[in-house]
Amino acid sequence: MQSSTQPRRACITGCGALSPIGNSTAAFWEGLVAGRTGLQPIRGFDTTGMTVANAGEVKDFKPQTRLSDEEVHRLERIHQFGLCAAREALEDARLDLRGGDRSRVAVIVATSLGGMLVGEEYQRHQAGGAGEFDVRRLFDFPYYATATGLARELGVRGPVVSPSIACASGTQVVGMALEFIRAGHADICLVGGVETLCAFVVNGFNCLRATTTDTVRPFDARRSGLLVGEGAAMLVVEEAAHARARGARTDVEVIGAGLAGDATHMTAPARDGAGAARAMRMALADAGVAPTAVDFISAHGTGTVYNDAMEMAAIESVFGEAAGRIPVNSIKGAIGHTLAAAGSFEAIMCAQILRTQVIPPTANCEQLDPACHLDVVMGAARRQPVRTILSTSSAFAGNNAAIVLRRADTA
């Protein structure tokens, strides 16, 4: 461990993704840059009677690419998602956990739904469904089971945390990794978000009248709602000196994080975006970065009328006149709203932007809302210098989270 006189810094050394536009980080990134969308009619379960039955489903998922036949047979779908993405992230980081001190490895994994598919299957069985149901599978039902199960599969002995602040959780986990590393609680943090589609969440958003019968169009004048998505986004966030000592790349740093609440409504955001703005300011202050130094903003951008309007107000509040000059995008037109995984998918995108200097377009945004004065990247990917990024997420119950990432060569 480093001397206490030397600040401990956090780098992203590996990424793994399983998404509606591709079942690897490379495929996910390629789909974003191309402006593709993975939003289609749901095929994974019966949608009879649903007012909206479109979503971002993971397609052609073959868990055997990274899991053994025994693991495929034993693990629930959500755990398969998480373990596949985690193994890709570890491979990308060139990190073999078997050779190090696993008590210095933390697992911080968020989910809003947990093993809801198990619960739905149990409910059908109780209602007279055919076949047997092994009640031991209910141990995979709680939301924390994904994190604890992942730690068990990988033999990790450090802290295991399952943060749950709804759709801001995927950003919060990256901020928690920064805190763990700064405080010396871990040298390696395996962090991310995992969700699987189920009838409960699709019907829930339909009942809230938050879903669209069109497609997801963040910041577009015609936007009319969101569509949910599924997948897994996992990152290896590692203490910089630890990463350098084993020859890993340290080119992307996590340098700041912030959290703030609205205290306004259980589902609707504060209309003025004050909570989101506070989280952004906290993250920038934690990073020691002035708003004028930000080169790109990854927006929550759900494509609902109120969320996008709130976020426009929040960004303008934080960045002032510069708000219209900073490129902004949202990935939800491509993969849908992946709930607790959303911010982690964005963190992977941000790391790729810092490495490639390419900003993906906002899928399906074609007619910018006249009330939006932000520089939303539309139509095609944009190549330009990017050294510092702010990523922001907002969620039910007024939860807001933000993180700041930076190219390490600017430190």
Residues labelled as active-site residues: 167, 300, 337
Residue 381, judged by CB atoms within 10 A of its CB (0-12, 13-18, 19+), counts as middle
DSSP string spanning 135-151? GGGGGG-STTHHHHHHH
Backbone φ, ψ for residue 408 (5° rounding): -65, -20
Q: Token pair 């709203």 is at which residue?
A: 337
Parallel, antiparallel, or unpaired: how do β-strands 105-110 and 188-195 relate?
Answer: parallel
3-state secondary structure 292-308: HHCCEEECCCCCCHHHH
CA distance to 21, 303, 377, 389, per residue, from 17 (Å): 10, 23, 23, 20
81, 196 Cβ separation under 8 angstroms: yes
What does the block give as tokens for 229? 């998505």
Q: Is 73 exposed, middle or buried (0-12, 13-18, 19+ CB in 10 A)?
A: exposed
Give the C-alpha separation, 340 to 395, whole Å.
Answer: 9
Q: Is the torsion defined by CA of 82, 90, 187, 285 positive or negative?
A: negative
Burial (CB count within 10 angstroms: exposed 0-12, middle 13-18, buried 19+), residue 48: exposed
The side-by-side arrangement of strands in the sheet containing 399-407 is: 160-161, 105-110, 188-195, 231-239, 10-18, 252-261, 399-407, 388-394, 296-298, 327-329, 375-376
Entry field: residues in the chain: 411
8 Å CB contact between 157 and 102: yes
CB 166 within 8 A of CB 160: no
Q: Is the dihedral of CA 121, 127, 132, 134 positive or negative?
A: positive
CA 282 vs. chain centroid, Å, equals 20
Written as one letter, the residue type at 405 is L
